[in-house]
A = this chain, B = another copy of it.
Amino acid sequence: MTTIMYSVKHEEADMRVSREQMAEHRRKILREAGRLFRRRGFDSVTVADVMQAAGLTHGAFYGHFKSKDDLIAHALAGALDGNSAGEVRRLADYAASYLSERHYRDIAGGCATAGLGGETIRQGAEARAAMTAGLRRQIDRLADATPGRDEIERRRAAIAAWAAMVGAMTLARLSDDETLSAEILEATRAALTEGSKPR
């Protein structure tokens, strides 16, 4: 009996690859790390998990990053950048979309603050700094889309609204009863939407 083996290379991730290939690999590592971390948390995702998701072996990791902590900081920064892409038009619309069932279910692709905020408090200085920068950007973005008498009032309202959104998503995902989860999202959506729609 003869077994014919086809050597299928999904990507040419063999030995030495070109420089653009390497840059592409780095981007892929960061993207997959961002998704894995959001889904499973920093600690339970291993370096080997990330590299496998990126289609490489774990040994190549240290050619791209100094350490797992280094990866965490960069992946977090990337995920936060991805989240804050696009302009926020009206706070009420943003809240409705943020507090949607779709976002509730998409942990891996969803908001990094909701998915990883609680754990980042205990991470290294660089990860904390990335989070703080992302938080500042988000507050600014939301303040521009928040109604209010003056800049100070809009900023205040934006902060409170952002806290409610992140908190509601955390609580909804925490609950093991999906009816309660839906109620939490709905109640917070209502609170952030009410009175802001011109009718």
Contact = CB atoms under 8 A, between A and B. Distances in A.
Interface of A: 40-41, 43-44, 113, 115-122, 125, 128-129, 131-132, 135-136, 155-157, 159-160, 162-168, 170-171, 173-177, 180, 183-184, 187-188, 190-192
22 contacts: A41-B122, A43-B43, A44-B122, A115-B118, A116-B118, A117-B118, A117-B174, A118-B119, A131-B176, A132-B174, A132-B175, A135-B174, A156-B190, A157-B191, A159-B184, A160-B164, A163-B164, A163-B165, A163-B167, A163-B170, A163-B171, A164-B167
Nearest to A168: B163
Contacts of A155: 187
Main secondary structure, interface of A, reads helix
A115 to B, nearest CB: 8
A188 to B, nearest CB: 5
Nearest to A192: B160
Q: How many copies does the complex hold?
A: 2
Given A43-B43, A132-B175, A176-B125, A118 B160 contact: no
Contacts of A132: 174-177, 180
Contact of A167 (B125, B156, B167, B173): B167
